[in-house]
Amino acid sequence: MPEQVATAAIVIIGNEILSGKVKDENSHYLCRELRDLGVEVRSIVTIPDDTETIGNVVRQASEKYTWVFTSGGIGPTHDDLTVPSIAAGFQTPLVRSEKLAKLISGYYGKEVNEAHLRMAMIPEGSELLFDESKRVSQILFHNILIFPGIPRLLQRRFQTFRERFRSNPIYLHQIFLSCDEGQIAHLLDQTLVTFPELQLGSYPRTKDEEKHEVKLTLESREAAYLQEAANYLLEQIPPQFILRNESPT
């Protein structure tokens, strides 16, 4: 198995999420995209618009994981505390990014005001990622990507810079069964004893229209190891239980 594994934490920021006023779509999106890139999400946390909490949580995640993705709290209003809170957590001053100020002024035109331009204040030492063709900018501070909370904006920025996060791929093999989990639980335990590095998931049917009763997911960063484990498990499961299995492409 590779010694270096890219990991990530997702920090969702906003009282509106915790109160149920707004549904969090961003953590699901980021988990799916990062998995596709070979990055293992190890932590998802939702926290309030509180300066000390934001600063502490993001700094601790930065020390522990390869990447940290924050979502929310970067607009021009009173509760947009993410950027200054992260700077405070690292005891780093805020500085004005003239490039970002220019982009903000260009976006708002004659309507630009001081509240808008506060968004040009970034932690000292930040890198401003910028794609000229798409006119998309993104703050990178240490290993922290500070994203907006609006899903379409977050997704646009992530897609623009997604290749920056690519790591060794995670291969997936899926097995669909007609039995219930209790009938094959001992076989899963046995497989994990034989293949301790395998990531093995078992998921009962969640929708009436699904044809299977259980979906098994086998994952590994080593394609040969995954195939060997899948072959082993398939040999243990009674053939009448197996509806289909899907190897990695």
- Whether residues 61 and 156 share a domain: the answer is yes
Lowest-pLDDT range, 128-132, 154-158, 241-245? 128-132
pLDDT single digits (tens) 65-118:
999 999 999 988 888 899 999 999 999 999 999 989 998 898 888 888 888 998
pLDDT of residue 6: 95
Angle, helices 26-36/151-161, rounded to nearest 10 degrees: 20
- 109 and 18 within one domain: yes
Domain-terminating residue out of 165, 189, 224: 165
Segment 182-204, tens digit of pLDDT? 999 999 999 999 999 999 999 99
Please state, rounded to an integer, the average pLDDT across all residues of the chain: 93
With 0-12 CB in 10 A as exposed, 13-18 as middle and 19+ as buried, what is 193? exposed
> Final residue of a domain: which of 127, 144, 165?
165
CA–CA gap between residue 190 and residue 181 (Å, rounded): 14
Q: Which of 82, 4, 69, 73 is nearest to 32 (CA)?
A: 69
Range of the domain at 148: 7-165
Measure Cα distances from 47 to 80, 153, 198 in Å. 13, 20, 32
Do 82 and 183 sit in the same domain of this protein? no
Q: Are 216 and 232 in contact (CB under 8 A)?
A: no
- Of 113, 146, 165, the last residue of a domain is 165
Phi, psi of 26, deg, nearest 5: -75, -35
Determine the pLDDT at residue 249. Answer: 56
Say if residue 146 is in the same domain as residue 180. Answer: no
- In the prediction, which pLDDT does 134 show? 79
- The pLDDT confidence band at residue 34, using thresholds 50, 70 and 90, is very high
Which residues 6+ apart lie within 8 Å of 105 measured at CB? 112, 116, 117
Number of other CB atoms surrounding residue 76 within 10 Å: 14
* Statement to judge: residues 30 and 99 lie in one domain: yes
Q: Could you tell me the strand order of the sheet in which 171-177 lies?
A: 199-204, 214-220, 171-177, 242-246
Residues 180 and 226 in one domain: yes
Q: How many structural domains are present in the chain?
A: 2
**Residue 198, burial from CB neighbour count under 10 angstroms (0-12, 13-18, 19+):** buried
